Amino acid sequence: MTFPSRLPVPRAVLFDLDGTLADTAPDLAAAVNWLRTERGLEPTPYAVLRPTASAGARGMIGAAFGLAPGDEGYEELRLQWFDRYQSAMAVESRLFDGVPELLDGIEQAGMAWGVVTNKPMRFTDPLIPQIGLAHAGCVVSGDTTAFAKPHPAPLLEGARLLGLAAEECWYVGDDLRDVEAGRAAGMVTVACGWGYCGEIPPATWGADYLLDNPLHLLQVLREVIDAARTAEASA
């Protein structure tokens, strides 16, 4: 894609968690398929469940049982899914290829990074250290503030925890609500095409960048930094 020009060099990069930094879909799917097998039902194919992973319980239960919040039986399934998932959150969940190098590169460039997710802190707090993200500069969960994404409050809290203004941060996510939240917070937004991405094509989200893999983001950050240095030198 064509990159926007003259975007500010960030002082921090904030990331969504599921589908952005980490591939957590296998454990999310395993929890909902446990609910199905407990009821004598065949497991839902992983290919059906994976695209819904960023929506958490709502996505998984919707795909596996055809139920939405407010439907009869949904709340019981949601609570049981929470308990099952909490007991086995890091069995197969891993950082995406290139993410460790991306985070190292961000730190080497003198920038901070943090996690802003809609995942409740009940899951976020124990999962973060198990998958190699304990050195995050901040962690904002779905229930840290009074609102969840696409409201900008969690992103603004992330910036505050890092001691930065929102416009000094970029936000990276794999769902339309991530771009909406980032835009509402006044941050440069990055849609990560390597994530789950849902049913709406990422190219239509209106993100400042649409990137294919984590190392592509590191390349873009370096290009923005180099362009800023060149402009400063020629001023």
The values of phi and psi at residue 142, to 5°, are -65, -20
Q: How many helices (H) and strands (E) does the chain have?
A: 9, 8
DSSP-assigned letter for residue 18: B
Question: 18, 27, 174, 178: which is the annotated catalytic residue?
Answer: 18
Say whether 226 is catalytic: no
Say whether 18 is catalytic: yes
First to last CA, the chain: 29
DSSP string, 21-33: TEE-HHHHHHHHH
How far apart CA 193 and CA 214 sit, in angstroms, is 9
* CB burial of residue 226 (10 Å; 0-12, 13-18, 19+): exposed
Strands 22-23 and 94-95: antiparallel
DSSP E strands in the chain: the ranges are 12-15, 22-23, 94-95, 112-116, 139-140, 169-173, 188-192, 209-211
How far apart CA 50 and CA 59 sit, in angstroms, is 9
Active-site amino acid positions = 16, 18
